[in-house]
């Protein structure tokens, strides 16, 4: 496994971006900001935070979060008494883009870079407004710098489906988790009532389709049983699944959260 070649703590953490207004900000999640009120986003998880984190107690825990988007979940975990370190996903190069043939004009990666910049601006605007102490670490889901040190809990929120190799991403993250892995994602479709009955036996689903070349940002829909098996291989065999609904674009979406407790050494320890 390759790691980010960063040698000093000053190399690891990104300095805050000075963002003084809401202009050019894109919020992935609805958030309430002091002095600004409710800022709408694509997702509204304000009533579903405990479901998303699987009702795990966070006070006094050190958390590594992968999949921070515009920051809502990280800020909520911080409010619950956790020290949060977020993996900075603002660079499009850290994403596995489905390599569809590119038409003339801006490439998918260029479009993604511009979009992620507006999300990152929303993150830093909220960070400043909330007086947050969360730090963002430079890296990718496959290569997280060792200098951040271990975490009690690693949280991957809406992240695995964006990775061409989700097991590699889980492997890279799991080696930091001393106690618990929390993995949350969206079920296969918007038909949550149907999915609720089928989720346990649903197979992994490969998302990209040749006739939809605009779908370059998502690779997989993984059922929770597959995630549980991956985590068991990585030393987290004691796991449970929490099914819940979150609001996306005004409508309920079925989601799941896998909470897995460490039951064995890290795979790196086994290799050594």
Report the chain (272 residues): mean pLDDT per 10 consecutive residues: 52 89 95 97 97 98 93 98 89 70 71 87 97 93 91 95 93 97 82 49 76 80 93 97 95 95 74 45
pLDDT value for 175:
96
Residue 29 is classified by DSSP as: B
- Show the tokens assigned to 244: 């819940």
Query: What one-character-per-residue DSSP string does 222-265 give?
Result: --HHHHHHHHHHTT--EEEEEEEEEEETTEEEEEEEEEEE--S-
CATH number for the region 28-271 comes to 3.40.50.150
Domain definitions of the chain by residue range: 28-271
| pTM of the predicted protein model | 0.88
């Amino acid at each position: 496994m390759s790691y980010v070649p960063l040698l000093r703590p000053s190399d690891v953490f990104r300095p805050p971006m000075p963002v003084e207004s809401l202009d050019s900000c894109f919020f992935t999640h609805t958030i309430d900001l002091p002095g600004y009120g409710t800022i709408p986003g694509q997702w509204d998880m304000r009533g579903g935070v405990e479901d998303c984190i699987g009702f795990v107690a966070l006070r006094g825990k050190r958390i590594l979060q992968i999949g921070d988007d515009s920051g809502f979940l990280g800020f909520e975990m911080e409010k619950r008494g956790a020290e949060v370190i977020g993996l900075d996903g603002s660079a499009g190069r850290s994403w596995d883009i489905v390599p569809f043939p590119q038409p003339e004009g801006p490439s998918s990666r260029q479009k993604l870079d511009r979009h992620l910049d507006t999300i990152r601006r929303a993150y830093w605007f909220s960070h400043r407004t909330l007086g947050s102490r969360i730090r963002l670490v430079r890296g990718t889901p496959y290569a997280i710098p060792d200098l951040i040190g271990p975490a009690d809990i690693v949280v991957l929120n809406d992240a695995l489906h964006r990775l061409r190799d989700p097991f590699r991403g889980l492997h890279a993250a799991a080696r930091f988790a001393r106690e618990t892995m929390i993995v949350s994602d969206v079920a296969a479709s918007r038909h949550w009532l149907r999915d609720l009955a089928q989720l346990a036996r649903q197979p992994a689903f490969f998302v990209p389709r040749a006739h939809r070349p605009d779908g370059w940002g998502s690779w997989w829909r993984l059922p929770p049983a597959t995630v549980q098996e991956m985590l068991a291989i990585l030393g987290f065999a004691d796991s449970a699944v929490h099914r819940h609904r979150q609001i996306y674009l005004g409508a309920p979406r079925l989601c799941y959260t896998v909470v897995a407790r460490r039951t064995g050494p890290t795979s790196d320890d086994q290799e050594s």
